[in-house]
Structure formats: C-alpha cells, structure tokens
Amino acid sequence: MSRFRKAATIIIIVQILIIVVLNVICLYSVRKSGKYYRVEAERVVRMLEGDSSLRENPEGVDISGFSTIIRVSHFNSSEICNNDYVVEEVDGTPYRIEYKADKNSTAFLLMNIGMAAGLLLTVGVFIYIGMKVIKPFDKMSSLTQELAKGNLSAPIKEERSRFFGKFLWGMDMLRENLEDSKTKNLEYQKEKKTMLLSLSHDIKTPLSAIQLYS
C-alpha cells in the first residue's frame, strides 16, 4: 500500500507541475496576444492621420485587413457600445476604435477547467484502486502470513469487493476449516494421551499385584 501511495503521489505531483507549466506558458501567450489590438489600433490612427476623408468619415476605414478591429467611428460619450474599444485622438477629434476581445482568455479558462477535471479524475481513480484493489490485496497478504504462522482464530472481515470479495470469503472458509481441523486434532491427541495413560495404569496394576505376591 505504501508503494502505491508513493507512486500515486508522484504521478499527481507531476500532473500538477504540468498544469502549472502550461498555465505559465498560456498566461504569457495571452498577455502577448492581448496587446495585438493596440498594434492594430495604432495602424488605424496612422490611417486617419494620413487621410482627411477618413477623419471626416471614419466608418470608411477598411477593416478587412485587421484581425481584431471591428469598427471605427467618432467618439460620442452618450452612445452605448457593447464592444470593447479604445479612444484615440487625431487632430483634436476623438475616435472610438472598437475591437473584439481576445478569445484566448476563454480558451485558457476552459483549458484550466479541463485539466482540473482531469486531476480530480486521476485522484478519484487512485482512491478507487486503493480502496477496491490495493487494500483487499494487503489483507490477503496479511492473511496468508497469519495462516502460515498458525494463527487461525482471527476472522476475516467480509469485503464488498468485486475483485476479491469471493476470494476473501473463500479464504475465511478455509481458515475456519483449518481451525476446525486443528481443534479436532488437538482433541484427538488429548483423547489418545488419555487412553495411553489409562492403558498404562491398567497394565501397571496387575504387575504390581504379581510383584506383591512373588
């Protein structure tokens, strides 16, 4: 059981270390990619600075070449916007540059949920194996040692194990049979000794009488 626990602990620790390393790598990637919209926003600003017609009509900015920019418009503080955006000022006029949120953060969250579920599953499997396989197997090992020592009085606790339940039940029946045989053998030896003592007494009595009259 101790070896199994050590092996299970090592595997779980390695799995946790893998999760930590992957989190560090993914956090670096998310932070790096999360700044990309700023790069594209700067490109939009340069386009507005270089074209007066776009400054008058910012919706005309061609966003097909951008991966994060959704819309460019004049900034109006009273206007409600459901997208993430930054406000940039060009020639004294504020512009709203809307961008789509990085999906890497969602993927990062889902990855962590999946890895946490995998870790919990691993722990659950080890607990199940320890309770249903290793623990009954240890009892079997201790049972054979006790039987080898001749200790037949201790009953075996019944285990509801799909793997060793019937085997342990059979071993307990064997223990009971061996104990009965041992008890019967002791009784037989006791009766034999009693009979020998009785015969010895019966033989000695006539001999004593003969010696008395001779």
Residue 133 lies in a domain: no
Instruction: Compute the distance between CA of residue 97 and CA of residue 104 in angstroms, rounded to an integer.
Output: 21
Residue 119 lies in a domain: no
pLDDT of res. 160 = 59
Confidence of residue 134 (pLDDT cuts 50, 70, 90): confident
**Which residues make beta-bridge pairs with 73?**
96
Confidence of residue 6 (pLDDT cuts 50, 70, 90): confident
Residue 131 lies in a domain: no
Instruction: Compute the distance between CA of residue 117 and CA of residue 110 in angstroms, rounded to an integer.
Output: 10
Q: pLDDT tens-digit profile of 97-112?
A: 998 866 666 777 888 8
Instruction: Compute the distance between CA of residue 46 and CA of residue 18 in angstroms, rounded to an integer.
Output: 43
Contacts of 181 (CB under 8 A, 6+ apart): none
Confidence of residue 34 (pLDDT cuts 50, 70, 90): low
Residue 176 structure tokens: 């009971």
- Give mean pLDDT, residues 36-54: 88
- Phi/psi for 64 (5° steps) reads -65, -25
Confidence of residue 203 (pLDDT cuts 50, 70, 90): low
Instruction: Compute the distance between CA of residue 68 and CA of residue 44 in angstroms, rounded to an integer.
Output: 11
- Give mean pLDDT, residues 134-149: 71
Domain that holds residue 200: 152-214
Residue 125 lies in a domain: no
Domain boundary among 37, 71, 106: 106
Residue 124 lies in a domain: no
Do residues 178 and 152 lie in contact, with contact meaning Cβ atoms separated by under 8 Å? yes
Residue 112 lies in a domain: no
pTM: 0.48
